[in-house]
A and B are shown apart, each in its own frame.
Chain A
Amino acid sequence: QVQLVESGGGVVQPGRSLRLSCAASGFTFSNYAMHWVRQAPGKGLEWVAVIWNDGSTKYYADSVKGRFTISRDNSKNTLYLQMNSLRAEDTAMYFCANEHFDIWGQGTMVTVSS
């Protein structure tokens, strides 16, 4: 069935890096743009980044620009989020979603703490 499964979350110290993955199945991954969205504990949703289906175009929220990089490997049906220079305010559940936000993963939790 159509599915997105995130992985790679965990506890990391401020200033360190982490890479999240999102494995897609059940649909033609290479045809769709993909997004990362995050939600801090008890807070609302925040869009993080998008990558076009062919990887040619990427946009970021100002809060992560210059620190996070979105990428994809269409041969592996996988979306990535490389997170560098992590801050306490990056602590959140990170979701991946497809182009029109009708498919979401279950999320992976990232906690930035010393």
Chain B
Amino acid sequence: EIVLTQSPGTLSLSPGERATLSCRASQSVSSSYLVWYQQKPGQAPRLLIYGASSRATGIPDRFSGSGSGTDFTLTISRLEPEDFAVYYCQQYGSSPYTFGQGTKLEIK
């Protein structure tokens, strides 16, 4: 099983700042199957990034993904108030299709 470890667990930032979220895998992950989600309370996850670096439909360009192998990063260039939420990475290249434990992005 591929274990995904996200850091930090909680990130406290102010609107307008840059957020950098990390996702590290216990073994190499195919970039094609590395995705990032945003989840707000009471809502289903929303796909942000697929294929490690491609933005999903309708996702603002302040969101970007990068990385390969075992190290992946989600960057939010300038935080908007609506960006404060929980973010998850996931791999679905190798069953079981595991999620990271999440990073909570909170307002400082």
Q: Which residues of A contact B (CB under 8 A)?
A: 35, 37, 44-47, 50, 59-62, 95, 100-102, 104-107
**Contacts A100-B50, A102-B50; A44 near B99 (Cβ below 8 A):** yes
Can you sample 14 A-B contacts with CB below 8 Å?
A: A44-B100, A45-B88, A45-B90, A46-B99, A47-B92, A50-B95, A59-B95, A59-B96, A60-B96, A95-B45, A101-B45, A102-B56, A104-B44, A107-B44
A59 nearest CB neighbor, chain B only: B95
Tell me if B66 counts as interface (CB < 8 A to partner A).
no
A106 nearest CB neighbor, chain B only: B44
Question: A101, B96: Cβ atoms under 8 Å?
Answer: no
Interface residues of B in 80-107 (CB under 8 A from A): 88, 90, 92, 95-102
Contact residues on B (Cβ < 8 Å of other chain), bracket:
20 to 34
**Contacts A101-B35, A101-B92, A102-B56; A47 near B47 (Cβ below 8 A):** no
| Distance, CA A50 to CA B96, complexed state (A) | 9
| Distance, CA A35 to CA B95, complexed state (A) | 12
Most chain A CB atoms below 10 A, which of B1, B44, B96: B44
| Distance, CA A107 to CA B96, complexed state (A) | 21
Q: Which residues of B contact A (CB under 8 A)?
A: 1, 35, 37, 39, 44-47, 50, 56-57, 88, 90, 92, 95-102
Taking A35-B97, A44-B99, A62-B96 as known contacts, 19 extra A-B pairs with beta carbons closer than 8 A to each other, sorted by chain A number, are: A44-B88, A44-B101, A45-B39, A47-B90, A47-B92, A47-B96, A47-B98, A50-B95, A61-B96, A100-B47, A100-B50, A101-B35, A101-B92, A102-B57, A104-B44, A104-B45, A104-B46, A106-B44, A107-B44
- Tally inter-chain residue pairs, CB-CB below 8 A: 52
B94 nearest CB neighbor, chain A only: A59
Q: Which residues of B contact A46 (CB under 8 A)?
A: 99
A100 nearest CB neighbor, chain B only: B50
| Distance, CA A101 to CA B90, complexed state (A) | 10
Q: How far is the CB of B54 from chain A (nearest CB, A)?
A: 11
Question: A50, B99: Cβ atoms under 8 Å?
Answer: no
Q: Which residues of A contact B95 (CB under 8 A)?
A: 50, 59
